[in-house]
Amino acid sequence: MAVTKSHAPAGAASKDAIATLIADHRKVKELFKQFAKLKDKDDAEDEKSSLVAQICTELTIHTTIEEEIFYPAVRKQIEDEDLMDEALVEHAGAKDLIAQLEEMTPDDDLYDAKVTVLGEQIDHHVKEEEGEMFPKAKKAKVDTDELGAQVAQRRTELKAQFAEDEDEDEETPTKPAGSRRENEKPPRSV
């Protein structure tokens, strides 16, 4: 992979990887804000379930892209193994909560608490990425345009995979979207 920043051809659909990841951060933060507004609202189970399913999907796609594409490229260029290792550990914690939430429904004990804690963990993670990792990647001249093209392609693949999973879920009558119980497919692993 080239180290210097490339210039995408005019009209290219991909954008800088860092800009794409920051846009993901903003989108998920907004979803968590929407959930917070529903926490004390009566009869909001369907809305909560839908939002949490969206949060889990967005975070799963985002973490997969970072772990498969962005982090390896950055790790090669910056000299901060601790920062990169901590990011992976933070992802593991988020994945654990996502898996738990995918097994739950809004009326389960600790559902709201787990969503709230996941949001807090993501906020912390975003601050480290945007405040430390992204500036170091820019300083090291990581080719964020090339990575942006890879990110865009992988996102398309993952979204298609999630759409297939949802279509399969709809064929089998189960709990509301975003919740899984025994005798159902395991959470999506990507």
pLDDT tens digits, the chain, 190 residues: what are they? 444 443 333 334 458 999 999 999 999 999 999 999 998 888 899 999 999 999 999 999 999 999 999 999 999 999 999 999 999 999 999 999 999 999 999 999 999 999 999 999 999 999 999 999 999 999 999 999 999 999 999 999 999 998 887 777 666 544 444 444 333 333 444 4
Asked if the structure places residue 132 within a domain, the reply is yes
Domain count of the chain?
1
Within-domain flag for 66 = yes
Sign of CA dihedral 82, 87, 92, 94: positive
Can you give the residue range of the structural domain that contains 55? Answer: 17-167
11 within some domain: no
Cβ pair 74, 136 in contact under 8 A: yes
User: Residue 145: its pLDDT value, please?
Assistant: 94
Q: pLDDT value at position 175?
A: 43
- Confirm whether 36 is domain-assigned: yes
Q: What is the dihedral of CA 150, 156, 157, 161, to 10 degrees?
A: 150
Neighbours of 44 (CB within 10 A): 16
Q: Is 118 inside any structural domain?
A: yes
CATH number of the domain bearing residue 33: 1.20.120.520
Is position 23 within any domain? yes
Residue-wise pLDDT tens digits, 85-115: 999 999 999 999 999 999 999 999 999 999 9
- pLDDT of 170 reads 64
What letter does residue 187 receive in the DSSP assignment?
A: P
How many alpha carbons lie under 13 Å from residue 157 in its C-beta half-sphere? 10
In a domain, 7, yes or no: no
- Look at residue 14 in the predicted model and tell me its pLDDT: 56
Instruction: Give the pLDDT confidence score for residue 7 in this predicted structure.
Output: 39
